[in-house]
Structure 1
Amino acid sequence: MTPAERLLDLVIALTHTEHRMTKADVRATVNGYSQASNDDAFERMFERDKVTLRELGIPLVTLTDDAHGDDIGYRIDLDGYDLPRVDLSPAEIGVLSVAAQVWDGAHLDLPARRALTKLRAVSPAASGELSGHVLRIPPPSATFDPLLSAIASRAVVTFGYRGATSSAPAQRRVEPWQLVVRDGAWYVLGHDLVRDAERMFRLTRITGAVKVGARGGATHPRVTGTGGGLGATSRASGSIGRTVGDDGAADVARVAVRPERAGEVRLRALAATPGEAAWSGWDVLELAVGNADDLAGLLAGHTDAVVVLEPPHLREAVVTRLRAAAGLATVGTATTGTETDPVSEPATDPATGDIQSSAPTTGEAGRG
């Protein structure tokens, strides 16, 4: 019997026991434990299985007999084990559908598809913004799984890394934070303990196996939304785009997005918060600017669904594109000879030059 089968039988037994099961009960009635050659082997096997169940989030509780304090038994707390009903919105189903594409061609491809099939059977269809979105990303490499495991367990990883300008790999120790795709390649973003700074490493340049340290060994928390590490890599290679401003600060954009709109923009968000004041009812996203021209083109393509709050240079780039598009529409209408009304240039704020038609007016936030 495999360890997974033994664990499943143990879970079934501990959830159906009327009160508790002692170690003797487990050894005598649960399949797999009779394979232990002696008492010490059974103790080691059972202790490992208890740790595994708790790491999986299964609430295994320890009970002692009131009359005999050394008589210890175990059961699973059913109140803590039962999951609540899963209710997902069309936008959430859409996000999960897009996320499942990460595993295309990888070992979790089939489980991800099966999970989506089950969710779609009890949930509404994906929202139109995300249902047709296709991720253009490479399949995960052999280094992906150990890095993902280290991120989840807050562990330090060690690997050999061949830089863009070096011929021989160097040993790196990193506290990984996030796996991201940039320019069609997978990168791991984290704190480089060798250089004591945020860095991003391309997975295809990692040589050999990734060694994962002890759980909880990482101590440097990521500052959400700083965009750090992206800029460090772009300064070194010039291949990821500008993510650090002239003053050396991280170049992060804040944009207001209408609910369940601009799915492609949402996929790039570093953080999201509910809008306040004039932007109540909207979502405020933080985006790593990267290549400002590319981001401006993306945001302008969503017209009234997205409004750039900062930085000013990105706002200006988006406004420029919207004005150009409005001008082309005006010229096109004027040259057709039809009686349709020409499309005029959108109203602008005379003080800032910002287009006003995208921003909500007082009392109309989220509906303008």
Structure 2
Amino acid sequence: MSTARAERLVNLVLALLSTRQYLTAERIRGIVPGYADAASDDAYFRMFERDKTELRELGIPLETGRNSAFDSIEGYRIARRDYELGEIDLAPDEATAVGLAVRLWDSPELTGQAQGALVKLRAAGVEVDNDARMVVEPRVRTEPAFGPLLAAVQNTQAVQFEYRRSGSPERRMRTLEPWGVVSWKARWYVVGHDRDRDAPRCFRLSRITGQVKPVGKRGVVQRPEDVNLLQFVGATGDSEPTPISTARLWVADDRAAGVRRRGKVVGRTTIGDDEGDVVEIELHFPESAADWIAAQGPDVLVLEPDVLAKGVQDRLEAVLQQGSGR
């Protein structure tokens, strides 16, 4: 799916979810960003029909109806009672995990084009639900290879990329017929047929260096019907042993309970004007640990090793750059 279409679908969901009224196709065309670019009425209606089908395939409950008996044309809306999740009861450790995830996400109430859509709704006389908080801007980073590989999967096209094996600086060029991109144990993998080895293989995206380049024509890659990508990665991914390292962290008082549970307090120190504990923690996967620690923000500081401290610093600086560029 293109970025423009994805943004248009998000705006459509926002508009239909933010009103209790049924919106006709014509009103949606004037309200939702992305539809005004349609070259003609027929082009718009074809675009709108595709978008409706896409939403229904995604499981979004799209309702049709009329606001009154005097309306001659049906409209559309999304009932929040059908769209929202029910109440979820979390155990303390589960709540802590969710809290850590939330620290990686910036969730303003309304941003960018989404706010423009609501302004147009109100200007058109549409009753808008002021409690709507649907827009979420992710701060979770994906690997640079993610987009090109996903596009290659959708285009059923082979790709080439340089790949670095675990524990080795050597890079080798790989030619892959990609079947899919999946997440396994907080890492992204691409699975497919390795033409160089003439066998199915999976590759971790964080070890792909340089650009992912499409090779050959589209429509030539065929994914086997009986392959389960997650099972394949689980059976073959990370089969190489990963050494355990020990990190020393400063943890602010009464903060980062999840870090404290996984580590051992070995001392006390003051960072700036803030007091806290020195915690030692064993890390099986340093790469993902940098993401996890960065999610703690100023509550946790890496004292050693330097490579982990640098990894956390890079992630925090990337978030700051994204925020300043909005």
TM-score higher than 0.5 here? no
Select the structure with the greater relative contact order (CA < 8 A; seq sep ≥ 6).
2
As a proportion of its length, which structure holds more strand?
A: 2
- TM-score (norm: length of structure 2): 0.41
- TM-score (norm: length of structure 1): 0.37
